[in-house]
Amino acid sequence: MQIKRRVEFLHQVHALRSLDNESIRKLETAMETVEFEKHDIIIRQAAIGNKLYIIESGEVDVYIDEELQDVVRTLCTGDYFGEKALKNIGNTATATCKAATSRLVCYMIHADQVKRMIGCDIDLIENHSGEHPGRDGKLPTRKMTVPSEALKNKIRRKSLLRWIGQLGKGGFGNVDLMKDPKSGEVYAVKRQQLSRNDDEQEYNDHELCLLSNFECDFIVKLISYFEEANFRYLLLEPCLGGELFSLLQAKQQFKTEAVTFYIGCIIEAFDYLHSEKVLYRDLKPENILVDKRGYPKLTDFGLARQIGEGERRMTFCGTLEYMAPEVRMYKSYDFGIDLWAIGILTYELLTGTTPFAGNLSETNFNYSKVPIKAKYISAEAHKFISGLLQQQPSERLGMGYSGFHELRVHPWFKGSRSVLQQHWRWEALLSGVIEAPHLPQLEGPQDLRYFTN
């Protein structure tokens, strides 16, 4: 009876749901029941790990600071930790796990036993589905909802707006700079056709739903929207500094100080998105706009999707040069694909080209080594990029318990100096006091000089 209960319990564990009955039964035979008292340290950060723990009852607090002051996550029944040992025996722990209740009961499995008993099936054990705490240490519970009527109460007809010029043109809509003569407000207006094609309409509906819920300084803000005839118009904040892609083309590549600034902002945007369980799936310089302060903001959320707990995607989408291996090989994926894309973006901003551009025609080219351009990439930058461009999603920088904190504390940022000639400070970035490496020279809210092409 005890064996049957444990097998049923293992079937309910999120990480093991992809394993068949035979593999689950093998795991059950290898499990030991272990108990801990409150404040017992089960796994210590940076220690070599060789065990997987699954919580049967009780709670575990997870810390990423050496002083064990700030709990970034609390694990409970059915959650697990120590899973990195399953991918590579001898991996070091990315966090400290401490018993949080007076009695904690766990099922413990030695990594070498797992590998010996279920072999290649180990790749089916998922790594927390990419769920990481946000900056407040809490997992998200908010579901993106349809936009409120309040967003529609400003402007009702396109004829009430005066056209200034075109900002962009894409397959799913054009973007124009337009002014409300009555209020004097200027908007970036994205026009989307209300389509009878379900796939195309779903693309537009998802973007509206997400943008109407976002509250992040590093994401383009939706101010209002309206529908008229066969079109929907999204009124967005104008970012008149142009695309980061255009700026990169003009400069060919950026200095390290500039790249740490832009990537720091992108990290903040993705930390926010992932805390809301939103997959972006299309990071590239063309989808990053520069505002009047010189700060980058993510735009174009047509491919972005909010996913449920434990949910994975299979859709082949995105830009080929930025696609993670699992996408190109038609495997299921989660938040790890965005971290891969951050690594590609970092490389492109430093060198002016993407690392695997020459292999795009191949279906199974080798991702294992990141090309080194010593002239542009320092040793720390190479470590940062390589940490993100790991073939196994679970091994990528940012996929551990500490999430995006792993990126923020990386030596590449610590060794960089901002244009304020101070050591890199995330608080200064978040408060907007760091001067951007490129300040757009704009004469006013209708200046289109960075969109002339």
Look at residue 173 and give its three-state secondary structure.
Answer: strand
Evaluate whether residue 215 is within a structural domain.
yes
What pLDDT score does 132 carry?
41
Mean pLDDT for the stretch of residues 278-283: 96
What pLDDT score does 3 carry?
80
Catalytic (active site) residue 123: no
What pLDDT score does 136 carry?
40
Evaluate whether residue 130 is within a structural domain.
no
Are 223 and 329 contained in the same domain?
no
Does residue 74 register a pLDDT over 90? no
What pLDDT score does 263 carry?
96
Cα 310 to chain centroid, rounded:
15
Are 189 and 57 contained in the same domain?
no
* Domain of residue 162, residue span: 149-239
Are 266 and 380 contained in the same domain?
yes
What pLDDT score does 424 carry?
58
Tens of pLDDT, residue by residue over 2-58, are 787 888 888 777 667 667 788 888 888 888 899 999 999 999 888 887 888 889 899
Mean pLDDT for the stretch of residues 132-145: 46
- How far is it, in rounded angstroms, from Cα 342 to Cα 336? 10
Mean pLDDT for the stretch of residues 407-423: 66
Are 233 and 270 contained in the same domain?
no
Are 27 and 97 contained in the same domain?
yes
Are 101 and 178 contained in the same domain?
no
Q: What is the CATH number of the domain that holds 168?
A: 3.30.200.20
Specify whether the CB–CB gap between 45 and 66 falls below 8 A.
yes
Evaluate whether residue 133 is within a structural domain.
no
Considering the entire predicted model, what is its pTM? 0.70
Evaluate whether residue 132 is within a structural domain.
no
329-338, 393-402, 424-433: range with highest mean pLDDT = 329-338
What pLDDT score does 124 carry?
46
Evaluate whether residue 200 is within a structural domain.
yes
Tens of pLDDT, residue by residue over 52-68, are 888 989 999 988 777 88
- How far is it, in rounded angstroms, from Cα 93 to Cα 48? 6
Q: Please say which residue of 218, 239, 260 terminates a domain.
A: 239
Are 363 and 306 contained in the same domain?
yes
Q: Please say which residue of 211, 239, 267 terminates a domain.
A: 239
Higher pLDDT among residues 119 and 433, named by residue = 433
What pLDDT score does 356 carry?
82
Are 354 and 337 contained in the same domain?
yes
H helices within 107-218, ranges in order? 111-118, 198-211
Q: What is the CATH number of the domain that holds 88?
A: 2.60.120.10
Q: Give 349's pLDDT tier (boundaries 50, 70, 90).
A: very high
Report the percent of the chain where pLDDT is more than 90.
Answer: 43
What pLDDT score does 421 carry?
40
Mean pLDDT for the stretch of residues 95-119: 83
Higher pLDDT among residues 126 and 43, named by residue = 43
Are 358 and 416 contained in the same domain?
yes
What pLDDT score does 268 carry?
95
Q: Which of 79, 176, 271, 282 is catalytic?
A: 282
What pLDDT score does 94 carry?
77
Angle at 317 between CA 314 and CA 322, to 5 degrees: 115
Does residue 122 register a pLDDT over 80? no
Tally of domains within the chain:
3
Any residues with CB less than 8 A from the CB of 295 and at least 6 apart, and which? 217, 218, 265, 432, 436
Evaluate whether residue 447 is within a structural domain.
no
Q: Give 264's pLDDT tier (boundaries 50, 70, 90).
A: very high
Evaluate whether residue 144 is within a structural domain.
no
Mean pLDDT for the stretch of residues 110-137: 53
Q: Give 250's pLDDT tier (boundaries 50, 70, 90).
A: very high
What pLDDT score does 120 carry?
47
Mean pLDDT for the stretch of residues 161-184: 87
Mean pLDDT for the stretch of residues 389-415: 86
Higher pLDDT among residues 133 and 355, named by residue = 355
Does residue 391 register a pLDDT over 70? yes
Q: Give 134's pLDDT tier (boundaries 50, 70, 90).
A: very low
Three-state SS string over 14-27 comes to HHHCCCCHHHHHHH
Evaluate whether residue 451 is within a structural domain.
no
Mean pLDDT for the stretch of residues 189-203: 76
**CB-CB neighbours of 166 under 10 Å:** 12
Distance, first Cα to last Cα, the chain: 72
Q: Please say which residue of 239, 264, 299 terminates a domain.
A: 239
| Averaged confidence pLDDT in the chain | 82
- How far is it, in rounded angstroms, from Cα 317 to Cα 303? 8
Look at residue 40 and give its three-state secondary structure.
Answer: coil
Are 261 and 219 contained in the same domain?
no
Q: What is the CATH number of the domain that holds 285?
A: 1.10.510.10
Q: Give 141's pLDDT tier (boundaries 50, 70, 90).
A: very low
Are 249 and 361 contained in the same domain?
yes
Tens of pLDDT, residue by residue over 294-346, are 999 999 998 999 988 778 899 999 999 999 999 998 899 999 999 999 999 99
Are 43 and 20 contained in the same domain?
yes
Q: At what angle do helices 2-12 and 21-30 cross, to 10 degrees?
A: 120
